[in-house]
């Protein structure tokens, strides 16, 4: 009986890792759609968000069943409660990828990001994708050291976000209000993706050690 219980508990984390993989694919495809103006790819990302939502519901149902039927305590209770918070963060990450795709679709046949800002936006998207990929490893392996590395990578994202604003506020900005709004929103979306990745990683640390990292969530 207890073996089945622990299999179910482990299954919750397997689902979290699978959702993270889905988010990773969504971020990659949304970014490609953004940088190439691929409306069909953007549509696929938008449609695929429903699958992430469905997987989130499964995790929530499984977790609540474990809480009600098994009445876990100590580390098991900590794991289930953390999983419920993590799946919410992961769903929001999927939503952010969807938002990127929607901006891409809105500007087709043009591109939302002006040529001069593409290097910064491309780097932000690369970091976001790297962080989601690393997060999947953190969840799968319960890797505390890898979780700490995510917080370090996030510092570069914060610097790029500030650079993004600096570029928008330049006196010689010539791309109009519409482009400025797009770039500001996109920068925010990628920054929030990184923030959520760190938050989920910190909860994995909490599951493993019983303590949040110094930076906290």
pLDDT tens, residue by residue, 35-59: 999 999 999 999 999 999 999 999 9
Specify if 216 maps to a domain.
no
For the domain that residue 82 is a member of, what is the CATH number? 1.20.58.220
Specify if 120 maps to a domain.
yes
Among 34, 5, 21, which residue's Cα sits nearest to residue 179?
34
Share above pLDDT 90 across residues of the chain, in percent, rounded to a whole number: 80
| Segment 102-139, tens digit of pLDDT | 999 999 999 999 999 999 999 999 999 999 999 999 99
DSSP secondary structure string, 19-74? HHHHHHHHHHHHHHHHHHT-HHHHHHHHHHHHHHHHHHHHHHHHHHHHHHHH---H
Number of domains forming the structure of the chain: 1
Token digits of residue 15 = 């689902």
175 three-state secondary structure: coil
Q: pTM of the prediction?
A: 0.93
Specify if 184 maps to a domain.
yes
| Segment 53-93, tens digit of pLDDT | 999 999 999 999 988 887 777 888 999 999 999 999 999 99
Specify if 217 maps to a domain.
no
Specify if 49 maps to a domain.
yes
Domain enclosing residue 133, as ranges: 2-209
What pLDDT does residue 2 have? 64
pLDDT-derived band at 217 (thresholds 50, 70, 90) equals: very low
Specify if 214 maps to a domain.
no
């Amino acid at each position: 009986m207890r073996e089945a219980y622990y299999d179910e508990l482990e299954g919750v984390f397997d689902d979290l890792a699978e959702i993270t993989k889905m988010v990773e694919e969504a971020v990659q495809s949304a970014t490609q759609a953004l940088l190439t103006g691929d409306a069909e790819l953007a549509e696929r990302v938008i449609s695929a968000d429903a699958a992430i939502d469905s997987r989130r519901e499964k995790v929530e149902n499984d977790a609540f069943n474990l809480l009600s039927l098994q009445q876990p305590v100590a580390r098991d209770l900590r794991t289930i409660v953390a999983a419920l918070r993590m799946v919410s963060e992961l769903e929001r990450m999927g939503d952010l990828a969807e938002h990127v795709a929607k901006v891409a679709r809105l500007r087709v046949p043009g591109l939302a990001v002006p040529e001069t800002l593409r290097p910064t936006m491309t780097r932000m998207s690369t970091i976001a994708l790297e962080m989601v990929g690393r997060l999947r490893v953190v969840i799968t392996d319960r890797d505390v050291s890898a979780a700490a590395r995510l917080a370090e990578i996030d510092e570069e994202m914060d610097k790029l976000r500030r650079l993004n604003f600096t570029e928008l506020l330049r006196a010689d900005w010539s791309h109009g209000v519409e482009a400025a709004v797009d770039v500001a929103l996109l920068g925010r979306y990628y920054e929030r993706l990184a923030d959520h990745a760190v938050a989920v990683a910190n909860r994995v640390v909490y599951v493993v050690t019983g303590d949040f990292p110094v930076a906290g969530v």
